[in-house]
Structure 1
Amino acid sequence: METYERIESVIHGFKLSSLTYKRVMHLLHEEMKRGLCNKSHNRADIKMFPTFVRALPDGSEKGNFLALDLGGTNFRVLLVKLNGKDVDIQSKTYLIPQRVMLGTGIQLFDHIADCIKKFITEHDLQNQKLPLGFTFSFPCKQEGLAKARLSQWTKGFRCEGVVGEDICRLLHEALHRIKINSIEVVAVVNDAVGTLMSAAHSDRQCEIGLILGTGCNACYMESLENVGLWEEDRDHPNQVIINTEWGAFGDNGCLDFIRTEYDRELDNFSINPGKQIMEKMISGMYMGEIVRLVLERLAMDELLFSGIDKESELFIRGRFYTKYVSEIESDNDEFFRNTKQVLDELGIENYTSEDCKIVKYVCTLVSARAAFLSSAGIATLINRLKKKTMTIAIDGSLYRFHPRFHNLMVLKIRELVNPGHKFKLTLSHDGSGKGAALVAAVATRLHEKKIAVQ
């Protein structure tokens, strides 16, 4: 067998037909319906959580709003001033010390409250009543727009006394302990919802939000009549944003027909085997490792990097970063400058131009499959919503920095959506800050409108 035929036999599993992606779309839609239905929700992999966000910005939002963005060792406090379409944002980033991350919940929320106090003092906001939108990027069970219970800590946090508790209540109590009673947490959101709200402020046709970064998730605006999980009142507006949590699509084995041996190996050695199957084929946390596993196989089969030292960093799990994929695919000439720099960083010696070409080829196949799977998901939502024109708001480092992701998605969505649908993909700016404040602003507007009607 010729060398190139042997290489194709190693990587052919990443080349999927349009018919295959349409089968993925059908399976995804069925799983989404299961997640929305009360009877089947507990068995569904895609949870389709109602977010309690019932309306998008309409451009009439005015006033000062605080936003809090907590998702790692740093967190931000933001002052967002809204005046119609005009938005002014001032923010400050604060550090969360290791001792606080590993301490008690009271210590954590006291630290956050103390930083909020410093922020409002610096901006002379002590005497203003301020609604606050809280982006809390940890797994939560949402029970209301301003009620979310922490399911588990991630990202190095281990504060005792918080799991199972309402994080909005804990923040309110911390604010009251330092005599701040002018701030009300009116909404807690995840990053997908923030992404959607931020873009919808200037684009009324935006009803889908997508995260393509370390993780992968989507949300969209759904009619309440389709949400069997909804147990609240069904007053106007008759809609709610659904957080799909579609990264878990395939956990029941329904995507096994498209998984490669490299997907299975990555999954087996992950911290959550059998979980987040779709996310593991798309997101930035995993893409580099899939490429590394393919390159490792090609090297072991002596189809790449002839005579490579088996102690090379290419053979170390997690050592091939997703940012390398973006850098390698940015090479647009025969000199392979970025590819060579990556191979040098990995300590690979005596590589040839042909090796560089193969490395780039592997990257393009793995990233194209990721872009096409994302597209299948978005096309499923576009077809479900049945709007003639639709904007999809996207955020995340994978979408931002990969040179071909946007164009690949546009081409594949166009191929997969039902005839007559127009769409555009737009990069959303600061969903975790601006988006969270807009959720608070819309909630305030709807509340005031309700009072006025009564």
Structure 2
Amino acid sequence: MPSKMTHQTNMVEKRLNSLQCELKDYEQVMQLMNENMKKGLKEQPDISADLKMYITYVRSLPNGSEVGKFLALDLGGTNLRVLLLELIDGQVLLKSSIYSIAENTMIGPGKELFSHIAACIQQFVEREGLENEDLPMGFTFSFPCKQFGLKKSHLVNWTKGFKCDGVEGEDIVTLLHNAIAEQKLLVRCVAVINDTVGAMVACAHLDQDCQIGIILGTGTNACYMENTTKIEKWREDNTIRQHGEGVIINTEWGAFGNNGCLDFITTEYDKAVDQMSKNPGEQIYEKMISGMYLGEVARQVLVKLIQDGILFKGHLSNRLRTPMAFYTKYLSEIESEEEHELDNLKQVLDELHVMEYSLTDCVIVRRVCEAVSTRAAYLAAAGVAALLERVEKSFVTIAVDGSLYRYHPTFHSKMTDMIGQLLPHRKFRLKLSNDGSGIGAALVAAISTQMTIATLA
């Protein structure tokens, strides 16, 4: 029996070997990330640079002095959120409502989508008795956009099930203002951001050390405060660049590795996930660390172990045979238990229609989950370490939001550990950002309004 157990353990570790990178590999990832960021900031961005390094035009972070009432929109899926943020003496009073977006609106004419958004705003301001107030608004629009100013942002392409005609390539603020004008609302959009910037700004309101924002959820992205002297492609007032002021850069780091630079750590499981995805050859880094794909990476490993006859006596259930059937939440559920506790793991196996399994099978499944999530956390940490090297602060808070980071029991500790190994003398902390998509947008509107008043004065 011990010899059989040893054989199984050896076979499992052999299958997992390619997922277990060494410190030097993560050091190389950090170096490659930094090189790609530098390329993306050049005056003529290098076509080999996967990171687009979009300038967000958010040049200030909140400092607690912001006052007033501000609206925010949060659109990034099948629900639209409208929020009212009131800032009084550093305190934040928040009200919000959620409005659903019907499937036919998600794929219909763009004009109808923005008319629906304006109608939701009207309902909200009437409910709050604000219809006669001229309110500035921030808009968290979590789709790929190219920014031309704080309130000028062109949609590059729809994602997340949206396919509205007449929006791609257009300025979403113009489309929104046209719809608002038809509703005869006094609301005006003064800033557009994505959820990553929102996470950073929301955290910075309470933590002046915050200089980096990360999303680790269904997808992944990162932003950070960059010195304008390092941005060769800066097209705004040259005085700002010469003075070395700050501006938030949206890295779009999910595309890191598209040029093949991560091939040295790409496994057969990653290649399988990439090929069965809707966008083969794209978002390589995201596919190795984000919630949309981690469960599928784990499933690929489990299937191989079953085919090897090492797991479940070689029996592959129809459910486990199905791509994307092993949800990333299973990793969090399984790893949140103590090793001797099996309630969550058994529930997962029941959902996967695995009828017969041994204690050894349970140990193997947990081991696979741990290997996949650990690599993801370490790869994310390597990206954060690259950002930390660019931020010229002695201590930096990294705002992190997203379901993967929020709910996985060891993601935070593993990221902290690897960043510490990569940058042993750097002082930092990872901090969960609450409701950045909503609060962050309203705060950017507040900053923008305050800067405008200061300029006029």
Query: Under a length normalisation based on structure 2, what TM-score does the superposition of the two structures give?
Result: 0.96
Residue 222 (structure 1) aligns with = 226
One-letter code aligned to 1:271: K
Q: Is the 8 A contact 1:71 1:136 kept in 2?
A: yes
Q: Distance in 2 between matches of 1:348 and 1:58?
A: 54
Per-residue CA deviations over 1:135-192 (Å, capped at 9, x if unaligned) read: 1111111111001111111222221111111110011111111212x21110000000
**What's the CA shift for 1:234?**
3.9
Amino acid at match of 2:80: F
SS in 2 for 1:87: strand
CA contact (8 A) 2:295 2:328 kept: yes
Identity %: 52
Cα distance in 2 for residues equivalent to 1:35 and 1:165: 23
Amino acid at match of 2:334: I
User: Post-superposition shift, 1:311?
Assistant: 4.3
- Partner Cα separation in structure 2 for residue 441 and residue 425 of structure 1: 25
Equivalent residue in structure 2 for 1:368, among 352, 374, 377: 374
In the alignment, the residues of structure 1 paired with residue 8 and residue 116 of structure 2 have an alpha-carbon distance, to the nearest angstrom, of 60
Alignment of 1:266-345 (within 5 A): 266-308=273-315, 310-345=316-351
Provide closer, same or farther for how the CA distance between residues 333 and 23 of structure 1 changes in structure 2, counting only shifts above 3 A.
Answer: closer
Q: Is 1:263 aligned to 2:270, yes or no?
A: yes
What letter is aligned with 2:268? E
Q: CA deviation at 1:96?
A: 1.3
Comparing 132-141 with 2-11, greater Cα deviation is found at: 2-11
Partner-residue secondary structure (3-state), 2:445: helix
How many angstroms apart in 1 are the aligned matches of 2:126 and 2:182?
Answer: 17
Secondary structure of the residue aligned to 1:2 is helix
| 1:160 matched residue in structure 2 | 165
Shift of 1:86: 0.4
Structure 1 residue 380 corresponds to structure 2 residue 386: yes
For residues 370-414 of structure 1, the C-alpha deviation after alignment (integer angstroms, 9 at most, x for no partner) is 000011111111122131111000000000000000111111111
Q: Is 1:73 the equivalent of 2:75? A: no
Match of residue 109 from structure 2: 104
Q: Aligned with 1:160: secondary structure?
A: coil
Q: Is the 8 A contact 1:326 1:403 kept in 2?
A: yes
Q: Could you say what secondary structure the match of 1:306 adopts?
A: helix
Structure 1 counterpart of 2:50: 45
In 1, distance between residues paired with 2:158 and 2:26? Answer: 34
Distance change >3 Å, CA 235–CA 82, structure 1 → 2: farther
Amino acid across the alignment from 1:450: T
- TM-score, normalised to structure 1's length? 0.97
Q: Residue 366 of structure 2 aligns to which amino acid in structure 1?
A: K
Structure 2: unaligned runs, 5 residues or longer: 1-5
The code of the aligned residue for 2:310 comes to L
Q: 1:240 maps to which residue?
A: 247
Asked if structure 2 preserves the Cα contact closer than 8 Å seen for 1:205 and 1:391, the reply is yes
Moved more, 9-18 or 185-194: 9-18
Cross-structure match for 1:396: 402
Detail structure 1 runs of 4+ shifted over 6 Å in the superposition: none
SS of the residue aligned with 2:455? Answer: helix
**Is residue 142 of structure 1 aligned with residue 147 of structure 2?**
yes
Question: What letter matches 2:357 in structure 1?
Answer: Y
Shift of 1:128: 1.2
d(CA) in 1 for partners of 2:333, 2:293: 16
Secondary structure of 2:264's partner?
helix
8 Å Cα contact 1:383/1:418 also seen in 2: no
Which range is displaced more, 137-146 or 330-339? Answer: 330-339
Q: How many residues align?
A: 449
What residue ranges of structure 1 are gaps of 5+ in the alignment?
none
Q: Is contact 2:213–2:399 with CA below 8 Å preserved after alignment?
A: yes
AA of the residue aligned to 1:229:
K
Give the letter aligned to residue 359 of structure 2: S
Specify the SS of the correspondent of 2:354: coil
SS in 1 for 2:260: coil
2:235 pairs with 225, 231, 238, which one? 231
